[in-house]
Every structure is written in structure tokens, then in C-alpha cells.
Structure 1
Amino acid sequence: MVTVVTSWNGAKASALRVALRLTVDELAARIGGSPRGVAKWEHQPDVIPSMVSQRDLDHILSTANPDQQARFALLLEELGRAGAAAAGATNDARLTSGGLSAAEQRRISDLSVPLNGSRGVLSIPTSETLARLEQNLRSQYSADNLLGPRELMPLMKSYVSMIEQMQEKATGAVLDQLLRVGSGYAEFTGWLHHDAGDLRGAATWATRALEWAQAGMDERMTSFVLMRRAAGALTARNGAYAVRFAQAAQRFESAETGRIRIIAAVTEAHGHAIAGAGGEVDRVFDTAAGLLERYDGEIIDGDPTADRYCEPALYVKIARAKCALELGRAGDAVAAFTDVLSSLPPDYHRDRGQYLGSLARAHILAEQPEASTVAAEEAYSIAIATGSTRTLMDLRGTLPNGLARWSHIPEVERFCAMLAAVEPEIGGN
């Protein structure tokens, strides 16, 4: 049965393009419009296309094959779930300057927050409140992969502020739990800054998360935050720094940290690859293989990698692809990233943009400019739709120079012009 769209917007039009596996230029050609206009839909998901464009989109959808229609229906479901999660979180959890909104007070009944514009005083939370805070954080993980940092960053900062106020009045076991829960919120806020391209802000939030995890004697979260700091060093292209943080993350030898240590090991391998140490890369992947054999599939309650990272076996595959690219192994990198993209779960929308950008770089290394622009355009569209400045910065930082010698090719010229026209918005502190 064909999905019927009553009113098109930018998000739905972008979902149709992804479902049909079309580039921005290809969809523009199908509707007789301009690539810049289609790119605007990607950048402004709430924008309403003209009635002529809506009729064209109706026709494209009605003539799509069953597989394309099924993908479109799934993407619409994901957009609906993500939108509902974001709207519910914003309505129920937004903090005023003086504390929580009235809706949040009803939801968490044991909090007492005056709404008179002054700083609120929160009561000591119950175990039920703490459980709700943990559950809420996991719901933000799910929304993040589709929405990106734009919508979630202000909300997460408000939650951290609320938890910090709770900590001021708590003691004993309750304080320990608040420190552990707070470290999770602070780490996730740091991740949003990382994805928004604000590495300094990400490091600041990670420092707070690490302090709270250590004060709460939470080895697993301590390990996780150290691993995330290593990931930030990878983004900054500091291989040696990444190696040190990743090694520190692996020092807790418990079943609870098993999955984190797998991720930390391959993060270390990536750091060695940035430094050009191929032998160390191979050695660390052997370590990761041993950890994978022991801990693959084992998720212990409260594991911060759950809902944030794909299955460890796939994550190791992704890391191998990244290292092949770093070490200049063009053929291996193209094959590896193609395999990764075919294995990636459909709801990992923003991550797909990251890996498409890496595939574009691998195609450049393999001297395949046309294939590079196809992958890069899809990565660009996903980055615009999700607000992932990290992906946009990666594309802008590597592809124009890499494609420069093929600038006479029309596809390359159009893509580079489109990329240059967008100024990424860097996240705030």
C-alpha cells in the first residue's frame, strides 16, 4: 500500500529523496527545480514546498517501486517518533530561569520549584525520580540519532543544571547516585557539543562528567567518559592524545566495562592510524578481537554504550574502515565503508552521513571523483537535516581540496559550490 502524504514539508521531501537513493541534484532534476531549492528543504525541515513541487513529489512517490515506498514509510515513522520525543521532552522538561516548568513538576511529584524567577530549590529526589532521570536520558539518546544537537543541546543543559541543584542538598547514597546520573547527562551534553563542532565546549563538559563519575565511584562511566575524550581527540586529529585517553579507558577490567573497552581499543587503533603507526594498529585490533570474543552482545543494565553505539562487531568493522582510510589503503577503505553502510541499522541516520563522508574521501583516494560526489552529496543532505556540524566540517575540510584536480567535472563543480554556500553553525558553550 502506497503511503499518502497530506502535506509535504522539507523533512518529508528529504526522506523521500533518501528512500529513492537520489542525490540533491537528481531530485531537483526530477521535479524541475534547482539543487539550491532542494538543499533548502534539507536545511529547513519545516519549510513547505510550493504546490507545484508538492504535486511533483506526489507523482514521484506514487511511481516509486515497492522497496522505495517501504523505505519511505519507515523513514516517516522514524521522523514521527523523533518529533514526538523531542516535542514531549521540550514541553515536559524545559526549565525556566527559576527551575522546572509546571508540567515537569506534575511529572516528578517530589520536586518543589518556585516559579517566581529566582533560583529554585529542589528537594532531595526519591529513587523513583532517579529512575525517571535515567530513563529520560536514554530517550534523548534515541532522539539524538535523528535530530542531532540543535534541538537537544539547550534541553540537556537545563537537565544538568537541575541535577546540580539536587546534588547540593543530597548526601550519602543519594548523592552518589546523583553524581552518577549527572555524569551521564554531562557527558551526553558534551557529545552534543562535539557533534556541533565545538570541541572546546565538549572537553569542558567531559571534564565535569569525569569529575562526577569519579566522585560517584562509577568506574564504568569513568571509562566511558575517557573513551569519549579519546574520540574528541580523534576529531581534533591528535592521535597521540587519543591513544592515551583510550588506553586510560581500558584500565578497568570488569564485565561492566567490557563493551566500553572494545570501543576504547579500536579508538586507540584509530589514534595510532592517525599517527601512521600501522603495526600498532594491527596489534590493538588483535586486542579488540579478544575483547569482542569475551563481551560481544553482553549489555549489563545501565551500560552507557546501549542506544548510543551499534553492536560491537559492527563498530569494530567501522573502525577498521576508518583505519584503512587513515593509512591510505584506498581499495580496502572503499570496500570497507561500502560494507559498513550496507550493514548500518536504518535508524542510524546521522551516523550514515558520517560514513558516507568517509566513503567520499576513500573514493578520492582511489581516484574515483564521480563516485565521491555521489556519496558526499548524500552525506551533506543528512548533515543539513540533522544539524550535524561535525559532518559538514569534515566535508568542507577535506573534500574541496581532494577534488580540486577534477574541478572541470560538472558533478564535482556543483557539489563544491553547494558545499561552499553553507556556513556551519557552531554550537555554543
Structure 2
Amino acid sequence: MRRPGLLADGSVASLGVVNPVDLRPREIDPALVGYFHQQLGGHYSADMMLGPLDLIGTVTEQYRLISDLTHAADGSVRRDLFQAGAAYAALAGWLHQDAGLWDSTAYWYGIAQTDAQMSGNTDLTAYALSTMARLRSDLGDGRAAVDLCRRGLSERHRLSPRIRVTLLHQRAHGHSLLGERAAVDRLLDEAAAVTDAADPSVPWGAVHHNAYFFEVQRATCYGRMGLYAEARRIWDRINSGMPSTARRDTGVYLARQAIAHAATGEPEHAVALASESARIAAQTHSARHHAELEVLRRGMVRWQHDPLGAQLDRALAPLSPDNR
């Protein structure tokens, strides 16, 4: 039977059956697998520029097609389609997570884990665990994130360098929530040492997401642990060289940079960064991005009755409901 129904925006509508799928086996051209992986790369790139809401419907509908083809396929094509399905479900989960749709996020990550298990691919199964760890980190559950990544790394000798890197840096985020800097530094250093061996052609895992990948992870972890002076120096370096094609992520990084500047006594600079960040957030509709700017707003509450408070309000005006 077909997977649970989807609303127009891709979120879960119900757990009931929508339409029965033709389960009769038929020949599926293996070239379709390559097509789906090629499309996946395009979706990753589009996400960097658009944000989640413009892509959720497209990605979830493509997953639905892959799922239907998987039911009809056999042999190695069926296995390869399960791999493609797991990768698409993981991306759908991320898009819902970025949009702040937590229940739908958990649903899609569960689908990714199931399809990864069906594919028999050890790397992909471990990658699916890393996506669940990313969700737990966003929910503030560092211990669960650490445990999930530890489970994924339990057979590290069987994992590709790319997936080891993914699990190591996600585990570092879990430790940052627990305030364990030594573990954060150790894991990020270990991940950075492995990354040169990672195969960039593998269509899952984000090791080569951008040239500042590990600096972003370290600055994010440091900011989360309250190490704002160190985080600020890293963010200043990162945001001076981010490419225009990473617009969505640049907006998030600017918000984190602003938080660090406000926390280290540079509120004027924080407001200037917030203004640029908010313009991007208003266009990409990333709930994760909005949350970072709300952290900044709370961090600058001491200036709310000063002229800086009014300047911050103007900077964040694009996020008000009236301007959406």
C-alpha cells in the first residue's frame, strides 16, 4: 500500500491509506536510480538558496514516486531504489526540521531509517541515525544525540570516511549541549582528519557542504557552550567568505555571529548583522533561522530601552507577521 498521504506542502496528512499501489512486479529501468540521485544533488543546492517551504512538496512527491517504483522493482534495482528512497526521506526530514515541523520531521527520519535498513547499506543506515541525532540536538537533547551517534559509530570499521565524519560532528553537537568542550574539540579534530578521505560522490552526508564546514561546526558548538569570544572570531572569518550560493546558511551564520558580538559587548555590530540576517530569514522561511534571531533578541534585552533596542526592532521588522 502507498505510504501515508501527504498534504500539498508535503506534511503528513494522516496515517490512513490514500490510494492502493499496483504491487505487480514490472521491469524498472536501472537508469532511473541515477536520475534520482542526480536530482537529489540539485535539491541540496536549491535548499541552500531557497529554504524549506519551496522544496518540501517537490521532494516528498519524488519520494512517493521512488516508493511506488520500489514496490514494483526486484533484485538490485529494488535495493538501489531503497537507497535512493532513504536519501530522499532524510532530505524531506531535514526540510521539515528546518521549517520547525517537528512531528513530520520525526516521521520522515523514521521512513529514512526503514528504507536504509531495507537497502542493506551499512553507510546509509548509520547516516539515518545521524539525522535522528541532528533532530535530538535541535530539541536540546544532547545525551540522546551522543547515544545515537555512538550507536552509528559502533561499527566504524565498516563505515566510509564520509559517514564517519557525519557521525563524529553530530556527536560533537550532542556533547556541546552537555557543556563538554574537550569532547567537542576531540571529535571535531578527529572528523577533520578523516574528511580528506571522504568520497564527494556519495549522495548523502554533508561533509563538503562548504569550505568552512568544520569551522561552522566548531563555532556553533562554542556559541552553544557560551564561549562567545572564540565563537565570534570564527564567525567573523566564516562570514567574510561565504559564497552567494549558500544564502540560506549565510543568514543563519550571520545570526549566530550577531549573538556572539552582542554577548561580547559589541551590540552595534550585532544589530548590523541582524539586519542582513533578518532580510534573508524573511525570504527563506527557515524556522531554525528565526529561532537564532529570537535568541539574539533575548540576548539584547538589556538594550531594549536604549536607541539600540529600537534599531534592533527595525532590523528584525522583516520577521513580523505583518511583513510575511
**TM-score range for the pair, normalised by the shorter chain length:** 0.7 to 0.9
Name the counterpart of 2:302.
405
Say if 2:272 is the partner of 1:374: yes
List gaps (5 residues or longer) in structure 1.
1-94, 98-116, 425-429
Name the counterpart of 1:365.
263
Name the counterpart of 1:309.
209
* CA shift in 2, pair 1:303/1:135, >3 Å: closer
Aligned counterparts of 1:260 and 1:343: Cα–Cα separation in 2: 26
| Residue identity opposite 1:401 in structure 2 | R
Contact 1:141 1:307 in 2 (8 A): no
| Residue identity opposite 2:231 in structure 1 | A
Q: What SS does structure 1 have at the residue aligned with 2:129?
A: helix
1:187-206 deviation digits (Å, cap 9, x = unpaired): 11111101111122111101
Counterparts of residues 37-76 of structure 1 (less than 5 Å): none
Name the counterpart of 1:132.
35
| Residue identity opposite 1:324 in structure 2 | Y
Name the counterpart of 1:253.
156
* CA shift in 2, pair 1:263/1:383, >3 Å: same
| Residue identity opposite 1:302 in structure 2 | V
Counterparts of residues 66-215 of structure 1 (less than 5 Å): 121=22, 123-215=26-118
Aligned counterparts of 1:159 and 1:308: Cα–Cα separation in 2: 24
Counterparts of residues 1-12 of structure 1 (less than 5 Å): none
Say if 2:245 is the partner of 1:342: no
| Residue identity opposite 2:196 in structure 1 | D
Name the counterpart of 1:91.
none
The number of aligned residues is 304
* CA shift in 2, pair 1:235/1:175, >3 Å: same
Aligned counterparts of 1:248 and 1:345: Cα–Cα separation in 2: 35
Aligned counterparts of 1:392 and 1:400: Cα–Cα separation in 2: 11
Q: Which region of structure 1 is more displaced relative to structure 2, 296-305 or 351-360?
A: 296-305
* CA shift in 2, pair 1:162/1:273, >3 Å: same
| Residue identity opposite 1:259 in structure 2 | R
Say if 2:122 is the partner of 1:222: no
Aligned counterparts of 1:137 and 1:390: Cα–Cα separation in 2: 22
| Residue identity opposite 1:299 in structure 2 | D
TM-score, scaled relative to structure 1:
0.65
| Residue identity opposite 2:296 in structure 1 | L
Deviation at 1:185, TM superposition (A): 0.9
Aligned counterparts of 1:330 and 1:418: Cα–Cα separation in 2: 22
Aligned counterparts of 2:160 and 2:227: Cα–Cα separation in 1: 32
Q: Which of 393, 405, 409 is matched with 2:291 structurally?
A: 393
Aligned counterparts of 1:323 and 1:210: Cα–Cα separation in 2: 26
* CA shift in 2, pair 1:118/1:147, >3 Å: same
Deviation at 1:258, TM superposition (A): 0.9
Q: Which of 310, 327, 333 is matched with 2:225 structurally?
A: 327
* CA shift in 2, pair 1:297/1:257, >3 Å: closer
| Residue identity opposite 1:310 in structure 2 | N
Contact 1:197 1:393 in 2 (8 A): no
Aligned counterparts of 2:217 and 2:262: Cα–Cα separation in 1: 19
Contact 1:353 1:378 in 2 (8 A): yes
Deviation at 1:133, TM superposition (A): 1.5
Contact 1:334 1:359 in 2 (8 A): yes
Q: What SS does structure 1 have at the residue aligned with 2:243?
A: coil
Say if 2:196 is the partner of 1:296: yes
Deviation at 1:352, TM superposition (A): 0.6
Larger radius of gyration: 1
Name the counterpart of 1:57.
none
| Residue identity opposite 1:261 in structure 2 | R
Contact 2:127 2:166 in 1 (8 A): no
Deviation at 1:337, TM superposition (A): 0.9
Measured on the aligned residues, the alpha-carbon RMSD in Å equals: 2.6
Aligned counterparts of 2:101 and 2:164: Cα–Cα separation in 1: 26
